[in-house]
Amino acid sequence: MTYDLTTIGEGQIRLTCERGERLATARSLRMTAAGSEANVAGLLSQLGRSTAWASKLPKGELADRIALEYSAVGVDIRHTVMTEEGRVALYFLEPGEFPLPGKVTYDRLHTPFRTITPEEIDWDALLDTRIVFLTGITAALTPDTARVVRYFADAAGERGVDVALDVNFRSLLWSGEQARATLEPIARKSSILFCSRTDARVVFGIDKPDVQACRALREEMGVPTVVSTDGRAGTYLSTAVKDRTFDIHSVPVIDRPGAGDSFVAGTLHGWLDDDVERGIEMGTKVAQIALTHHGDLTHVRPGELQTLQSTDIVR
């Protein structure tokens, strides 16, 4: 196979306020590339996996910024559809300081990606992979993007390719009922499902404590492996063989977006080696790294994972 993982999603530019500033009064913004699926592919590529990310972007400098961010770490972006006209999706982030939470403002209407169709994609290339990675974020954008996500999942199933789904529910994009109607058929086709305990309640109506929610979701969807995050309470794994809870250790937060994608990527790295428990442990480590620097894409070298317990300078 050409790839270990392929995926599709919208490339974005994230514009972040400085700490202590609100969007309405900000005098400067930090610009970085973003995209949940691309973040997962980018981190896996840094860990030695062969990955590809497809999208639909308008030609221009902002699209170039996105392309450079992910191709620089080894992601194959050749299957992205480029258009002559259009705009790039943006989102603005107010990091938030206690007692105010962080706040996202989307500016992603009328982008080329929102009208993407299955006929535009080179499916033979994207299905030459060990696993297809899909998210609820892309499915939530428009009926067209939902159709592409469903087509990808169905085509993978027909070819015997594994599917990983990250529910990644966004209340600013759709309701829990809408999310369930679109994502449940894909979840039932998945080999591994990522769904936080909160999302399990909001989207699938499963309201149980701790690892019980993870197990109930696995039994309800008939998925071999379910991984659920639950904030500082821990991370849960449920398979037909065992349930397990993983402890979470808090770290200072410099920049939060991208940490969840890093966790998913690390977990899939282990899953691809038939060791999802080791993957969750690695995912937890790279998520900690993600929180320590700016940008949605986590930049990490495999050797750095061995230095996380040290506070000394690496010389």
Q: Which residues are designated catalytic?
A: 261
* Residue 126 to residue 5: CA distance in whole angstroms: 9
Beta bridge partners of 13: 33, 90
Sheet holding 89-94, edge to edge: 29-34, 12-17, 89-94, 103-107
Of 6, 40, 234, 213, which is closest to residue 226 (Cα–Cα)?
Answer: 213
* Residue 28 to residue 215: CA distance in whole angstroms: 45
Whether 202 and 189 have beta carbons less than 8 Å apart is answered as no
| Amino acid code (one letter) for 269 | H
Greatest CA separation found in the chain?
54
Strands 81-83 and 56-58: what pairing?
A: parallel
Q: Is 82 left (phi over 0), alpha (psi -120 to 50) or beta?
A: beta
* Residue 29 to residue 122: CA distance in whole angstroms: 36
Tokens of 104: 């996202």
